[in-house]
């Protein structure tokens, strides 16, 4: 399947990843419908930062995926769906697990039912590496045990199983893409890289939780290219596919890269409220992305040093976007 000319729905289009995906789909020649979370300010989130010429080519609709009637309406006439909408903050899921479950599970079910009703050609469901929990072996392929360690991860694992069940039961052409950590411009400060950079630009010390944990990080434009290639590949229907760099980097090393980028030495201060419950903390995530390479020849192009520099530059120019005085969950 080629996406050019297709009617494509992106849920969660107002988010960090969603806004970049919308841009790329417009460039690909898609007729894009962007679904953003309704608010009375008519704020479209990160889509507000997309070039106006690009945004003028996008149909933006506000609503809530927890509304089943709304889900059916936005799905009408759409051929391909990228489902990114979710409540993604892990610390937020400690505080409000019901809200997270309602959105990530019931919201996904509403969209799957709507996709079935309208006969979409491809339903790309976005998972997360967090469903694996701490690495039991590395690298982590798609057969790694699923062991969610936070309410957020548990809701995403549940949504994944719902999505697969619609493929097995109803023949809905669902594919599950499982990205490891993504970073880059427009990401909120609840994520580790913008949190480090934001603090580093405005203070001489970093308030942190654990700095020994390690992650597999992919720059956002590489991830977006993976999403598009995944959707265009017919062999991904009924499959789960990891997207990751296959490289492991600790939070401490990320701090060192930020220091190098800014030519600045930072004092690390451990703050109790930023430390996750011991049994909930995921210590290591390292992707095995061979399946993505085999099915659609995906490989990240931007190395971590370059990606950090690009992200630092963007945050430096958009520092007022961030609430620097609070702990973002």
Active-site residues, by number, are 152
The structure tokens listed for 55 are: 């945004």
Give the span between the Cα atoms of 292 and 230, in whole angstroms: 8
In the three-class reduction of DSSP (H, G, I as helix; E, B as strand; rest coil), residue 237 is classed as coil
CA angle 155, 191, 71 (to 5 degrees): 40
Pairing of strands 240-243, 174-179: parallel
What dihedral angle (degrees, nearest 10) is formed by the CA atoms of 36, 37, 43, 47? -30
What is the rounded CA–CA span in Å between residue 185 and residue 100? 25
End-to-end Cα distance, the chain? 38
DSSP 241-261: EEE--S--EEHHHHHHHHHHH
CA separation for the pair 167, 116 (Å, rounded): 10
Closest CA to 65 of 47, 52, 41, 81: 81
Say how far apart CA 273 and CA 237 lie, in whole Å.
41
Determine contact, residues 149/285, Cβ cutoff 8 Å: no
CA distance 36 to 65: 9
């Amino acid at each position: 399947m080629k996406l050019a000319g297709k009617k494509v729905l992106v849920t969660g289009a107002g988010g960090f990843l969603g806004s970049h995906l919308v841009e790329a789909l417009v460039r690909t020649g898609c007729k894009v419908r962007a679904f953003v979370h309704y608010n009375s300010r008519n704020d479209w989130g990160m889509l507000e930062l997309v070039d106006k010429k690009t945004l003028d080519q996008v149909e933006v609709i506000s609503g809530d995926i927890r509304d089943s009637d709304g889900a059916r309406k936005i799905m009408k006439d759409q051929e391909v769906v990228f489902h990114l909408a979710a409540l993604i903050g892990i610390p937020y899921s400690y505080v409000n697990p019901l809200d997270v479950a309602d959105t990530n599970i019931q919201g996904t079910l509403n969209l799957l039912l709507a996709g079935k009703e309208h006969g979409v050609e491809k339903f790309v469901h976005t998972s997360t590496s967090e469903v694996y929990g701490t690495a039991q072996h590395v690298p982590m392929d798609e057969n790694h045990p699923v062991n969610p360690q936070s309410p957020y991860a548990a809701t995403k694992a549940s949504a994944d199983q719902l999505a697969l069940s619609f493929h097995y039961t109803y023949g809905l052409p669902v594919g599950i893409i499982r990205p490891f950590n993504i970073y880059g411009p427009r990401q909120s400060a609840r994520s580790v890289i913008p949190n480090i950079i934001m603090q580093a630009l405005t203070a001489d010390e970093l308030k942190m939780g654990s700095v020994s944990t390690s992650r597999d990080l992919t720059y956002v434009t590489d991830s977006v290219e993976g999403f598009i290639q995944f959707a265009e590949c017919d062999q991904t229907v009924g499959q789960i596919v990891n997207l990751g760099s296959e490289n492991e980097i600790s939070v401490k090393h990320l701090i060192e890269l930020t220091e190098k980028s800014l030519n600045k030495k930072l004092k690390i201060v451990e703050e109790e409220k930023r430390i996750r419950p011991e049994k909930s903390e995921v210590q290591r995530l390292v992707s095995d992305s061979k399946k993505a390479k085999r099915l659609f020849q995906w490989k990240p192009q931007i190395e971590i040093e370059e990606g950090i520099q690009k992200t630092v530059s963007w945050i430096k120019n958009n520092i007022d976007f961030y609430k620097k005085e609070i702990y973002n969950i």
